[in-house]
Structure 1
Amino acid sequence: MRLESTPELDAFRNKVRAFVAEHAPGVKRHAGVRAPEPELMPAIREWTAKLYEAGFLGIDWPERYGGRPDAHPLESFVVAEEIARARTWAPVGAASLASAALIEFGTEEQRSLYLPRIRKCQDVWCQLFSEPEAGSDLASLRTRARREGDVFVVDGQKVWTTNGQHADLGYLLARTDPDAPKHKGITAFVVDMRSPGVEVRPLREITGTTDFNEVFLDGVRVPAGNVIGSVNDGWRVAMSSLGHERSGVAARGVELFGVLDDLMRLAGDREADEIGELAARVQVNAAMIGLAQSRMLAGTEGVADALLGKIFFSELNHDLVEFGVGLQGTDGLLVEGDPEAVAGGWWQDAYLYARAFTIAGGANEILRTQVAERGLGMPRG
């Protein structure tokens, strides 16, 4: 593996770092992929629009929509890393996922309407994929969309919808042919979250915050012009757009180095052996990210690369924050907001949230099976 920086990429990183320092909307209070408080949304929308305007987001879009064809393939990773290094807000919502689907499969009318609004952060998007019985096995989704003239009428329930309470638009998967095999007969839609029949119910989590939501769709009328791609081809649309979600992986390496630094300060001279083992694993995580980037540049990505990276990161993140809570002794029982809690209870919140990383994006148990079957060619159990 060779993944060395270049003078041009170093200069770009310095430019991004200075921009983040000047314009970022403050440090995030909590670890993980969290939804901001409503009062923070205007500042985050403004920040997101500035990132697009400066050419730091949408880098790989078509030039006519603001992309830069001469950009280095790793620039989007650099941006994600510098945002994570500053511990500030990355753009919230699923706009990057939706834009990938629109650019590859959308009509010219859809691109002309939605892409400029994404760049100005006029629309916050949410991802309406997962359901109560279709999470890791997404193709089992049951939300139905039946055609009635020029509209589709949608009925069903989605869950684990991050930022659903802030979203203007949703990137929806619904079943349009119930008789087709489960990976067929699914269609992708743009749905207006203010439509009659859309109800967003926040889910209060063990952390005490509300990051996820249930979304109920009761007779929601979606114009046929809001289909992304072709009817009954939504599985291909979704899998393609998910394949574009790479830059967040780079941020994970920077985040864990930050947690490790905090852990070392918390430990002082204690527990050197355990800290050393965790530090080695953080370095391995960074090497895995580097390998994935190297393979991406070379066009030799393996089907198991992203799966193994997610498993390793999520379990290491859990072990880091669990160790941090343990170092506090009985004070580890304190909660966020307690005046006696270390770092305001950041470690406790991060520990409670850490299990989410092992489930979101596919439970690690399911992903291990996928690694065995798809990466190693082992027979289905």
Structure 2
Amino acid sequence: MRLDTSAELQEFREEVRSFIRAHAPARKTRTGVRSPEPALLPELRRWTARLYAAGYLGRSWPVDHGGLDDPRPEPGFVVAEELARARSWGQIGAGALAAGALLAHGTEEQKRHFLPRLRSGADLWCQLFSEPEAGSDLASLRTRARLEGDHYVVDGQKVWTTNAQYADVGYLLARTDPDAPKTRGITAFALDMRSAGVEIRPLREITGDADFNEVFLDGVRVPADRVIGTVNAGWRVAGASLAHERGSVAAHSSELLDDLAGLLALARREDADGRTPLDEPALRARLGRLATRVRVADLMSRAVQSRMAAGTEGPTDAAAVKVLFSETNLDAVTLGVELQGLDGLLVRGDEDAVDDGYWQDALLYARAYTIAGGANEVLRTTVAERSLGLPREPRP
């Protein structure tokens, strides 16, 4: 089932497109989940406030917290698709994740404090989950939080934290009971990123940018009333967040379709002799296979969206979509660079770079998609064991 067939949703889609055309900040020139330039931050905070005020973000929130109390995921899918199609910015940071945790498990005082600031763009959140030895196996995290009086004292290290250099608040998972089973001794916190003992170190990537950061926590004091949910129940709090991050399933499909159109344009470029890459049978076959995978990825995304809308999604539906998207994306941008011939050696910033070096930058970033959100190797094992019922992989 396609979700854009009803007249109501199509009307909503046109409304969202018009809103983006009228109000969106500068168009994104780079693919992936990237940190903005510092000069763009004030505008992106205002843009976040506009999206919430218009009802395009936070639709499922309770009315008394500014939402529409609309649990349907379909409008959220439409917004995510249109933002991706327009290469526009969505809400940067981990605000959607934090809102999911606060709405499901936060105290009324926490909701009254944090949710309006999140809606207005006053607070930008980052996600302090992954650690050097706890990425896809997040339950192995080692950052500790011990109670001293009315504060928790946190020590540890987080890594791959996007937007940490800009964040006002960190959505932190830390171990509060080192003797409990892995998932049962973890607590969620709302951490003031300006607290003493928080050190942020940018990680320079192959793209030349520093979208990710290491975050070191050295004796950081967090008030006990900043625990989200109950102590040692942080794993359940983190799970509640995921229901508010479903839009990526829709956004990825739009990105692939957009890149396919770009590949076709590259393949039709004539050389000095008037020939195009499409004149080569092998290239036509390769492009045809890739186009098929893009369409399959789009259909799989639509099918998963349909099951989400009906409340019948499986435990690994989103994981399967992510694996197919990330690997198809990697092959697509690789072909985008190859189609440029020697010009493929040029990069963003070179005067003669095709499409301002978009394909080169996307290729350098594409491998991250196969790792972020759970490495594909781990997700394949999860799909095999939890959906296909295959024998469990031996555990040490």
Contact 1:9 1:72 in 2 (8 A): no
Aligned to 2:91: 91
Distance 1:302 1:71, change over 3 A: closer
Which of residues 320, 323, 337 is equivalent to 1:325? 337
Aligned to 1:314: 326
Quick check: 227-236 or 332-341, which moved more? 332-341
* Per-residue CA distance 1:38-84 (angstroms, 9 max, x = gap): 01101111111111111111001111111113575301111111111
* Per-residue CA distance 1:98-141 (angstroms, 9 max, x = gap): 00000000000000110011110100000000000000000000
In the TM superposition, residue 289 of structure 1 has moved relative to its aligned partner by 0.8
Contact 1:97 1:244 in 2 (8 A): yes
Distance 1:339 1:51, change over 3 A: same
For 2:377 and 2:150, the matched residues in 1 are separated by 42
For 1:294 and 1:166, the matched residues in 2 are separated by 36
For 1:315 and 1:56, the matched residues in 2 are separated by 30
Distance 1:229 1:70, change over 3 A: closer
Residues 43-122 of structure 1 mapped to structure 2, 5 A cutoff? 43-70=43-70, 72-122=72-122
The answer to whether structure 1 residue 236 and structure 2 residue 236 are counterparts is: yes
Aligned to 1:10: 10
Aligned to 1:277: 289
For 1:312 and 1:179, the matched residues in 2 are separated by 38
The answer to whether structure 1 residue 161 and structure 2 residue 161 are counterparts is: yes
Aligned to 2:272: none
Aligned to 2:212: 212
Distance 1:38 1:361, change over 3 A: same
Aligned to 1:371: 383
- The one-letter amino acid of 1:204's match is R
Q: Secondary structure at the match of 1:48?
A: helix
For 1:323 and 1:89, the matched residues in 2 are separated by 26
* TM-score normalised to structure 1 length: 0.98
Contact 1:129 1:158 in 2 (8 A): yes
Which of residues 325, 328, 339 is equivalent to 2:351? 339
For 1:257 and 1:299, the matched residues in 2 are separated by 26
Contact 2:72 2:309 in 1 (8 A): no
Q: Secondary structure at the match of 1:303?
A: coil
How many residue pairs match? The answer is: 381
Contact 2:3 2:74 in 1 (8 A): no
Q: Secondary structure at the match of 1:359?
A: coil
Backbone CA RMSD of aligned residues: 1.2
Distance 1:182 1:58, change over 3 A: same
- The one-letter amino acid of 1:300's match is T
For 1:179 and 1:318, the matched residues in 2 are separated by 41
For 1:17 and 1:71, the matched residues in 2 are separated by 22
Aligned to 2:311: 299
For 1:227 and 1:216, the matched residues in 2 are separated by 19
- The one-letter amino acid of 1:49's match is A
In the TM superposition, residue 196 of structure 1 has moved relative to its aligned partner by 0.3
* TM-score normalised to structure 2 length: 0.94
- The one-letter amino acid of 1:345's match is G
For 2:8 and 2:387, the matched residues in 1 are separated by 35
For 1:69 and 1:176, the matched residues in 2 are separated by 34
In the TM superposition, residue 175 of structure 1 has moved relative to its aligned partner by 0.2
Residues 106-255 of structure 1 mapped to structure 2, 5 A cutoff? 106-255=106-255
For 2:2 and 2:333, the matched residues in 1 are separated by 31
- The one-letter amino acid of 1:274's match is R
In the TM superposition, residue 282 of structure 1 has moved relative to its aligned partner by 1.1
In the TM superposition, residue 243 of structure 1 has moved relative to its aligned partner by 3.4
Aligned to 2:362: 350
Q: Secondary structure at the match of 2:392?
A: coil
- The one-letter amino acid of 2:380's match is R
Contact 1:315 1:358 in 2 (8 A): yes
Distance 1:7 1:56, change over 3 A: same
In the TM superposition, residue 373 of structure 1 has moved relative to its aligned partner by 1.1
For 1:42 and 1:294, the matched residues in 2 are separated by 36
- The one-letter amino acid of 2:370's match is T
* Per-residue CA distance 1:124-183 (angstroms, 9 max, x = gap): 000000000000000000000000010000000000000111100000000000011111
Q: Percent identity?
A: 64
For 1:266 and 1:91, the matched residues in 2 are separated by 31
Q: Secondary structure at the match of 1:152?
A: strand
- The one-letter amino acid of 2:347's match is V
* Per-residue CA distance 1:232-280 (angstroms, 9 max, x = gap): 0001111221233101210111111111111110111523222221111
In the TM superposition, residue 345 of structure 1 has moved relative to its aligned partner by 1.1
Contact 1:314 1:354 in 2 (8 A): yes
Distance 1:14 1:71, change over 3 A: farther
* Per-residue CA distance 1:212-246 (angstroms, 9 max, x = gap): 00000000000000000000000111122123310
In the TM superposition, residue 4 of structure 1 has moved relative to its aligned partner by 5.1
For 2:113 and 2:70, the matched residues in 1 are separated by 25
In the TM superposition, residue 309 of structure 1 has moved relative to its aligned partner by 0.4
For 1:4 and 1:36, the matched residues in 2 are separated by 31
For 1:252 and 1:2, the matched residues in 2 are separated by 16
- The one-letter amino acid of 1:310's match is K
